[in-house]
Amino acid sequence: MTVSEYLNILKSESTYITNSLILKSSDASGAIYKLLQRTSISTAIRKEVFIATEPGDILEDRIVIEAIEVIPSE
């Protein structure tokens, strides 16, 4: 699966808030994206996901090795 395909899966979830997916940081080994997920009509939670990738030039075309949700430290 490519990064682009994985991001499409995240965006297709019913709780995903449209246009909230943002690239936070990236390097040769992967990227961190953040997004909002609705918890009720007027509230949402911020989520972050780290996506480890194989090396490549274009981030969206890289192959996903692993994706892990980042939990904020207390």
- How many domains does the chain contain in total? 1
Average pLDDT estimate for 16-20: 96
Q: What is the pLDDT of residue 39?
A: 92
pLDDT digits (tens, 9 = 90+) for 27-68: 999 999 999 999 998 999 999 999 999 999 999 999 999 999
Please give the model's pTM, rounded to 2 decimal places: 0.89
Domain that holds residue 18: 3-70
DSSP secondary structure letters along 2-62: BHHHHHHHHHHSTTBPTT--EEEEEETTEEEEEEEEESSSS-EEEEEEEEEE---SSGGGS
Q: What is the pLDDT of residue 73?
A: 57
Average pLDDT estimate for 5-11: 97
pLDDT of 74 > 70? The answer is no
